[in-house]
Structure 1
Amino acid sequence: MNIVTSKVALTVAQQAAKHWKKLVIIALAFFLIMILGVFMLIDGGDSGGAGTASIDEVVLAWKPVVTEYANKYGIPEYTQVILAIIMVETRGTALDIMQSSESLGLPPNTLTDPIESIDAGVKHLASVVEDAKQKGLDYWTPIQSYNYGTGFNNYINNNGKMYTFDLSSEFSKNQANGVRVNYSNPIADFNDNYRYKYGNMYYVMLIQQYVSPISTGGGDIGNVNASSLGPEVYQSLMSEVSKYNGWPYIWGGSNPKVGFDCSGLTQYSFNLLGYDLPRTAAEQHSHTIPVADPQPGDLIFFKGTNSSRPDNAITHVGIYVDSQRMFNASNSGIGYSNWNQGYWKQHFAGFGRVVK
């Protein structure tokens, strides 16, 4: 048993009187996870869920406590994100399990009770989420702000109100006065494995490894039989684009060797199926047949999402899935997004049907 594990066990024992109900729940969770693992081995299944990468069992055991505090602070929809934060911060192997000490103005690892760390961490996340909602920001900005602090919310509020990796990088660069450090993490392979010496500009991408964009909008591909493309073609389309779920957005990208932007993803995937779709979102909008009653596989268009273009210009495209979801390559990454609320609803421009 290593030193950290020993300290965790000792601290949990010391806190038993204070948190005995929560600790009983955690013990039961460990037991259920072990039983589930046996059944999964027998059944031959895998440990991953739809749209969510595997979270370590030691972290999953804290889910009852995480759920309690997510409910307490009014952000139950962020439960999976909180578990992902634990994975990214400590993988559940440190006493300050969410690295929450700094959010309280304390030196790192000052907190020595994992439950107090979860309490403080979830409270901090809830505060940046609430601030982001008041400012009309997107889903991912407050998650990056968990790492940077609320100042990042303000920065996004003044720069388009939507998270992008470029803005995250620029913010970190400004705070670090341009000082770079090596960052040997596969998540940064596309960016020469460096980061700026302030926070972690890849934080959203790190979280998305464990909570993919699917989790913010559902995990299936809608009513296959209702697709305007036909069920077989639509299934082939979604099978192709799903290969890139969780990949980062790459401006100008139009193939798997480089990555994808929004219209690059739709052009590439439709062209594989024999559809002659042009390159840009605006060109694809002109190429498709406008429809008022969209079906799965139609395209959905948005305007005014690029500050360098006129407000009424078509600047974004996704694949319509159902009345709430689309699959698209956005600055938050490739995956499912809710198109009928928040930022996307504000910029909605219409639907288009792809024909040969």
Structure 2
Amino acid sequence: MDAWYQPFVDFGSTLMQPLYWAVSGLLVLFHFLWSPVLGADSGWTWTLSIVCLTIIIRMLLIPLFVRQIKSSRQMQLIQPRVRELQKKYGHDRQKLGEETMKLYREEGANPMASCLPLLLQSPIFFALFRVLDGAAHGIPRGQWLKDRVDLLSSLQNAQIFGARISDTFMGVGFANGITSIHVLCVILIVAMTGSMFITQLQLMRKNMPPEALTGQFAQQQKIMLYIFPLAFAVGGINFPVGVLIYWFTSNLWTMAQQFYVIRRNPSPGTPAFDAWEARRKAKGKSTTVAVNGSGTDKGKSATSNGVARRNGKGAEPATVPEEPEGPRVVRQQPRRQTRSQRKR
């Protein structure tokens, strides 16, 4: 007899089939492109296919990422004003809720807007994880892998650094001691969790004003800073090598993408914004010096040097007296006379 939740599982699997089809199709496509270079059964062919697949998906999700960053930043910036409202209307829950929603409308902030892009990304990431995890265990997910059993077997048995794409840290066991599989899995787990931690840390340290680092919202951010990497580190011991490669690539992309956004479009009042202002001022100053030294006052300098040479003062320009203010007096010129008239 089927379990009571089996209909829900079947329904969810049906909804995920289009995503499985797209993810498996991209994976097979990149394997086809890399096979002539590295070989069809090479572990590096499948590794690069997973990396390229992850990059393509992350590029398609850039608009959602930008929206998530903007919404999260807006919520962080208004937290000091939210705390002021809490101090003022803490005794009246209804009034506090009304004023808080009014503040959100005025500032164009939405608490759910920062979560919505993440929720929309989740099915795509889950489909990618399920396709790779299923392939590592010999379970084809996606029509492109179901039609190519040889590719499924190749992905499952491909090796890099002595470890198969399908191997896990706990699945190998320690009967033969510490093997290359354990070492590779530990390196990938540390890289995956470390890149995730650095990404969250740079967001809190560089793109948040000091006043936003206090309060309940900031405390939640600090808790997630440590909880998420720890959860992935614990779960990572059961992830196949192919899934660890995917997560590390995805986190590395997120870290670089967020670094670019923070550097080019920082939030006002944050350390990143101060550094951006300093770079802009330094660039403007160097540009001004370069322009002045390359000919902006060239005509003026040449005129001054010419006057200086005529006055015998070397490189120092001569001082030209200014005309006095007031009405200009026109001097009458004498009438021209002939030579005989001048003798008389």
Larger Rg: 2
The normalised TM-score by structure 1 is: 0.23
Higher helix share: 2
The normalised TM-score by structure 2 is: 0.24
Higher strand share: 1
Greater relative contact order structure (CA < 8 Å, 6+ sep): 2
